[in-house]
Structure formats: structure tokens, C-alpha cells
Amino acid sequence: MGNKQTVFTHEQLEAYQDCTFFTRKEIMRLFYRYKDLAPQLVPLDYTSYPDVKVPYELIGSMPELKDNPFRQRIAQVFSEDGDGHMTLDNFLDMFSVMSEMAPRDLKAYYAFKIYDFNNDDYICVWDLEQTVTKLTRGELSAEEVSLVCEKVLDEADGDHDGRLSLEDFQNMILRAPDFLR
């Protein structure tokens, strides 16, 4: 693969490499994945910074996201207006944070935003209930769900205000041995 790609200018690619964890090849590969989601919508020439958004339904059908219970939240968190429709910039951002080269605190920050369903910058009881329901696909009974949420608040709520702030979440998640994905 030579240097003869015409999608981005040289400076654009360098800037993307500085702002994400990806190499040039990976950025081009991601661009082609993005384009394959909506071939008619996405132009082949990004040198003029076109303003193109791929609707959420197409993003949610990607094989990497299709089975993920939080795909809607993920798309909402990374999209421009919080509606799930993503531009190429958002797309690159999303994959950069999800990649294995991103540091833990960056992932923790975005994980907090994903689990905060009502976007009030706190994970309250309702958010927790939503999370559990999505994780178990409704298999747990209502009292089991509320017991779980209560236990989580017990464990992780440091300032005892009945909901998890970013600090509480970060404190807890950075101790998790498995938290990297």
C-alpha cells in the first residue's frame, strides 16, 4: 500500500494519527468500514471536510456492535448531538477509545458516560436498573434487579448521596482486574 490514497490530505492523516491510537493503515481501514456501512452516503473524498452522518440503525448493525447490549448508548455517547448518528470523526473516536491501546482512565471516563443513561452526569438507581436489565435481557425478576442495584450502590457509592459520581465510578472501576474492554 503506497502513499497514493486520495481520501485524506497528508495533514489530515497526520492529525488523525495524533488524535487517535491508530496507525495510518488502521485509519484507512476504519474509513473503508465506515464507508461500507453507507456507500451512497459517504463520499470518497474527505479533503473538503464534508459533513456526513451515518444514521444509528446502520451503525448498530455492525458485527462488532450488533450483539452488544449497550450499542445504543455507545453510539449516543460518541455521536455529535447525542442521537446516535455518527460522523467519521465520531466513528474514529469511538474505536480509538475502545481499542486496546487506550489507557484505563480514558476508558473509565467514557464507560461512565455510557452507563449514564439519562445524561445527568450521575449514575442513579434508574441508570443501574437499566444496565442490569440490558445485561440480563430481562431475565431477572424486579426484586432481584432492585437488590442488585442496592448492593452496587452500597459498594461503590463513596459520598453516600445515593448515586455514583464520576469519581466513585473511577475509584471502583480502576480497581477491577478485568476492566480493559
Partner 1 sequence: MWKQLKKHRSSSLASSTSGGESLSEEELARILEQVEDKKKLIATMRTKPWPMARKLAGLREAQEFVEKYEGALGKGKGKRLYAYRMLMAKKWVKFKRDFDNFKTQCIPWEMKIKDIESHFGSSVASYFIFLRWMYGVNLVLFGLIFGLVIIPEVLMGMPYGSIPRKTVPRAEEEKAMDFSVLWDFEGYIKYSALFYGYYNNQRTIGWLRYRLPMAYFMVGVSVFGYSLMIVIRSMAGNTQGSTNDGESDNFTFSFKMFTSWDYLIGNSETADNKYASITISFKESIVDEQESNKEENVHLTRFLRVLANFLIICCLCGSGYLIYFVVKRSQEFSKMRNISWYERNEVEIVMSLLGMFCPPLFETIAALENYHPRIGLKWQLGRIFALFLGNLYTFLLALMDDVHLKLSNEETIKNITHWTLFHYYNSSGWNESIPRPPLHPADVPRGSCWETAVGIEFMRLTVSDMLVTCITILVGDFLRACFVRFMNYCWCWDLEAGFPSYAEFDISGNVLGLIFNQGMIWMGSFYAPGLVGINVLRLLTSMYFQCWAVMSSNVPHERVFKASRSNNFYMGLLLLVLFLSLLPVAYTVMSLPPSFDCGPFSGKNRMYDVIQETVENDFPTFLGKIFAFLANPGLIIPAILLMFLAIYYLNSVSKSLSRANAQLRKKIQALREVEKSHKSFKGRATARDSEDTAKGNSKNATQLNKEGTTHHPASPSQTLDQKAQGSRASSSAGRTVSPASQHPLASDQTLAKPSLRLVLGGQPLEGVLRDLPTDSWD
Which residues bind to partner 1, rule: CB under 8 A?
15, 17-21, 23-25, 63-64, 66-70, 80, 89-90, 92-93, 96, 98, 102-103, 105-106, 109-111, 115, 121-122, 128, 131-132, 135-137, 139-140, 144, 147-148, 151-152, 154-156, 158-159, 165-167, 169, 172-173, 175-179, 181
Q: Check residue 1 and report its DSSP letter.
A: -
Least distance (Å) from partner 1 to the CB of residue 1? Answer: 10
- For residue 41, what are the CA distances in angstroms to 5, 19, 29, 50, 81? 20, 25, 18, 11, 19
In terms of CB distance, is 41 or 106 closer to partner 1?
A: 106
Least distance (Å) from partner 1 to the CB of residue 73? Answer: 12
Least distance (Å) from partner 1 to the CB of residue 38? Answer: 19
In terms of CB distance, is 40 or 136 closer to partner 1?
A: 136
- For residue 120, what are the CA distances in angstroms to 23, 32, 46, 127? 35, 35, 35, 10
In terms of CB distance, is 19 or 40 closer to partner 1?
A: 19
State how far the Cα of 181 lies from the Cα of 168, in Å rounded to an integer. Answer: 19
In terms of CB distance, is 40 or 48 closer to partner 1?
A: 48
In terms of CB distance, is 38 or 104 closer to partner 1?
A: 104
Q: Say which residues have a Cβ less than 8 Å from residue 138's Cβ, sequence separation at least 6.
A: none
Least distance (Å) from partner 1 to the CB of residue 82? Answer: 11
Least distance (Å) from partner 1 to the CB of residue 67? Answer: 3
46 contacts 8 by C-beta, under 8 angstroms: yes
Least distance (Å) from partner 1 to the CB of residue 148? Answer: 6
Length of the chain: 181
State how far the Cα of 54 lies from the Cα of 73, in Å rounded to an integer. Answer: 16
In terms of CB distance, is 43 or 49 closer to partner 1?
A: 49
- For residue 97, what are the CA distances in angstroms to 16, 70, 109, 179? 13, 15, 10, 13
